[in-house]
Amino acid sequence: MSLEYTASEMMTVTAARALENGSTCFVGIGLPSEAANLARLTHAPEIVLIYESGTLQTKPNVLPLSIGDGELAETALTTVAVPEMFRYWLQGGKIDVGFLGTAQIDRYCNLNTTLIGDYRAPKVRLPGGGGAPEIATNAGEVFITLKHSKRAFVEEIDFVTTLGFGRDGKGRDGVPNIGKGPTRVITDLCVMKPNPESKELMVVSLHPGVTREDVIDATGWEIRFAEQVESTPEPSGKELSVLRELKARTERAHAGQ
């Protein structure tokens, strides 16, 4: 029998599966944190989760509200100063995967978390880059997860907060000592990867029940598809159970229960 699950659960489970056991992951707050901790609680118990505030090998029982959430420090193996986190761990090449979210993304995986609209008179002010620009240029590779819509997947992002492959797909060409950059984008509709040559995002896997037309309608540019588009495996009962319990106890904790 097929299990019942939401599109958001499908996205989180798929993102979690992308992380390998034993890898070192620099985790962003929100959807990346949800996926990374699901991975830790299921197939990747030896994954090392690092947050921007300096918490190393943290194992939160509930999802943190921010990088300053006490849950991260209380459950970490140790904590270090933020300058050491970036200079020694990140810029020192000790991070396998940077896991990021975003407000806007373009076809070349550039991310915007700064503002919507004109820089001098923005419609919306966003939280900003935080450590994402450094993570994207120093981690071995970068995973990105976000919900799929034309508001998020845009022809031209309003501000390049975090470099993917530049406005023309060549922003990393000839640059030494830089990671691979984004290697996959996971949404609630599909999985995308950059074309090896052009660096433009292309759909490599569709989630169950999702059509090509669904993805086309939710993307702000003429999205391309791989020659062979796979079907994303459905979540297992264990993955759904662990994820739902994680979110339930997080809600209880944040409600003071």
CB 147, CB 214: distance < 8 Å: no
Burial (CB count <10 Å: 0-12, 13-18, 19+), residue 247:
middle
Which of 9, 52, 71, 200 is an active site residue? 52
Nearest to 86 by CA among 152, 31, 26, 145: 26
Burial (CB count <10 Å: 0-12, 13-18, 19+), residue 104:
buried
CA separation for the pair 127, 99 (Å, rounded): 17
How many helices (H) and strands (E) are present in the chain, helices listed first?
7, 14
For this structure, is 52 an active site residue? yes
Show Cβ contacts of residue 59 under 8 Å, excluding neighbours closer than 6 positions. Answer: 40, 49, 75, 76
Other CB atoms within 10 Å distance of the CB of residue 226: 13
φ, ψ for residue 78, nearest 5 deg: -160, 170
Catalytic residues: 52
